[in-house]
Amino acid sequence: MITLKINGLEVSVEKGTTILEAARFLGFPIPTLCHMDGLTPYGACRLCVVEIGDGPRAKLVSSCTYPVEEGLKVRTASSRVLKARKMILELLLASCPQSKTIQDLASAHGIRQQRFKQEYDDCILCGLCVRVCQEQMMAKAIGFRNRGEKRSIGTPFDVKSDVCRLCGGCMYVCPACQLRCTYNEPEKAICGGCANLTPPCVQKEQFDDMMCYMSPCVACEIKKD
């Protein structure tokens, strides 16, 4: 057993446990996007960063991949952590504004602005789909390709995969391409409570009878400011 302190609380967990698991065991909430129980931790979205260590050696690490160490001191919500998380969410919103998951997270973290040029991507390359395909479906139909800004997910050479069973697991786990906010097209709306960030909330009255999953709506909040 390994003993460590999370936010001042001492906890003993088995060797090989990650900080994320230990913190959740204690009930400390840590937001995640690329983490899913049952899949290998990957550490891509960086949303789960926590602060470890003291003084000048204190640093942020992704809690989903970092194994617990004896005597480790962890802070899951220090100001440094929150500041970093906010910036990550702002970057996510700037790239993938339509993802309900991201919108909800942004809303919960009090993001009131998005200062980058708006993009409309539908993938944050969290790799959940790749891991589901490989680890749960044993198919390895899709994977990462290229690096840096050209990185993408798909089948090798974009050829239709022989091993894909069209199970749909990849779409099921996706935080970005499922549950997409459809703005001002009422007939297609899942919730329709908000529109995209620019221009926000057009024709709001049309959505009266629908419920927004987000509270409050990120777009409307930004408009208010």
Q: Give the footprint of another protein on residues 31-50 (CB under 8 A).
A: 41-46, 49
**Residue (37 or 208) nearer to another protein, CB:** 37
CB nearer to another protein: pick between 60 and 189: 60
Going by C-alpha positions, the residue among 156, 106, 150 that lies closest to residue 125 is: 150
Site pattern 63..102 for another protein (x: CB under 8 A)? --xxx-x----------x--xx--xx--xx-xx-------
Report the distance separating Cα 190 and Cα 179, nearest Å.
7
Here's the x/- map for another protein, 106-145, by CB under 8 A: it reads as ---------xxx------xxxx----------------x-
| Choice between 5 and 151, CB closer to another protein | 151
When asked if residue 59 is in the footprint of another protein (CB under 8 A), the reply is yes
Residue with smaller CB distance to another protein, 33 or 132: 33
CA angle at residue 114 from 110 to 120, to 5 degrees?
120
Which single residue is written with the structure tokens 């391409």? Answer: 177
Q: Give the CA distances from residue 148 to residues 39, 143, 144, 214, in Å, rounded to whole numbers and listed in that order.
A: 24, 15, 11, 32
Q: What's the one-letter identity of residue 201? A: C
Report the relative pairing of strands 9-13 and 2-6 from DSSP bridges: antiparallel
Beta bridge partners of 5: 10, 73
With the C-alpha atoms ordered 91, 92, 93, 97, is the resulting torsion angle positive or negative?
Answer: positive
Residues 148-177 that bind another protein (CB under 8 A): 148-151
Question: Any contact of residue 14 with another protein (CB under 8 A)?
Answer: no
Residues 6 or more apart in contact with residue 159 via CB below 8 angstroms: none
Residues numbered 188 to 217 that lie near another protein (CB under 8 A) are none
Name the minimum Å distance from CB 87 to another protein.
Answer: 4
* Binding flag, residue 185, another protein (CB under 8 A): no
Contacting positions for another protein (CB under 8 A): 41-46, 49, 59-62, 65-67, 69, 80, 83-84, 87-88, 91-92, 94-95, 115-117, 124-127, 144, 146-151
